[in-house]
Amino acid sequence: MRAKKAPSKPKSAPSPPAVASVLRRLLNGRERTVALGVLIGALFVGSWYTVWTGVREHVLSSEQYLLTPQNVRITPPPSWIHGDIRTEVFRDASLDGPLSILNDDLVSRIADAFSLHPWVKRVLRVSKHHPAGVRVELEYRRPVCMVQVPGGVHAIDSEGVVLPGDDFSPVEASRYPRLGGINTEPLGPVGTRWGDPVVLGAAQIAAAFGDDWYALGLDRILPSVAVAGRMDRYAYELVTRGGTRIPWGCPPGDELAGEVPAAEKLARLKHYAREHGSLDRLHGPRDIDIQRLQPTETPG
């Protein structure tokens, strides 16, 4: 008969001296350096947090970190803006309380506040610096037209956004195209769109002229007729300061089939004014049909 094998003994757990030997090996050389580094780092973070908790309020309120409107630099406003945009933004957005450049949400709060100003078209960039300072890069709205309504006039930009009227003297306002024949009022406050497609179309025409408007002796834009089948699409006519009426047609980019593009229309008017000295006759208005004027080789 085959002899029975003696049962194997179960493996015993490492003895305490063996565990100590393993720990000593782990704490030797590189392992010990890493462990000490972790311990020192933890002690440093804990100490720093304790100190910061005690001095946080004092640091946040110190002049090196406390932001004031005077420490905010913005893109210089153009000549047509006379108000103090920086002061108005801090007042209207309730940013007059304590502000610290250490606040995580400072950049977004500043950007949101400036984006609400009616003269600001776009906030391009906001950056903060030490000692306390913020730089705000802005794109401003440009007025292109004055809309005549029973109560006065409203300035608008090329997108039909209503602009602050207090920034324009009567003389300044007279240098812009004046849109007449409007029976609507702005749907919202300054800084929002008028909400009337007739106003928007006229604003786009005015923007196409720029400084050439005043140089050509033009005065008003009038909506003439609605385009058949399109209640949001109008044709317009221009009126000079001498009374000459010039059928313009549809706004730039929305011309009818076969209609002369806006850039060519403007080029033809400038060419005509150079050839005749003015868009008006010496003793009164004349009839000018842009579509039938001599084409120009180079618009401008």
Q: Which of these, 198, 153, 194, 151, lies nearest to 172 by C-alpha position?
A: 153
Is 70 exceeded by the pLDDT of residue 47? no
> Can you give the residue ranges of every domain in the chain?
66-140, 143-292
Q: What is the mean pLDDT of the chain?
A: 81
Q: What is the pLDDT of residues 83-108, one digit of tens each?
A: 899 989 988 877 656 677 787 888 89
- Closest listed residue to residue 134, CA positions, set 210, 218, 54, 74: 74
Q: What is the pTM of this model?
A: 0.74
Q: Which two tokens stand for residue 21?
A: 């030997």
Q: What is the mean pLDDT of residues 155-183?
A: 92
Query: Can you spell out the DSSP letters for 263-281?
Result: HHHHHHHHHHHHHHSSSSB
CATH number of 66-140: 3.10.20
At residue 245 the predicted structure's pLDDT band, cuts being 50, 70 and 90, is very high
What pLDDT sits at residue 289? 87
d(CA 202, CA 101): 44
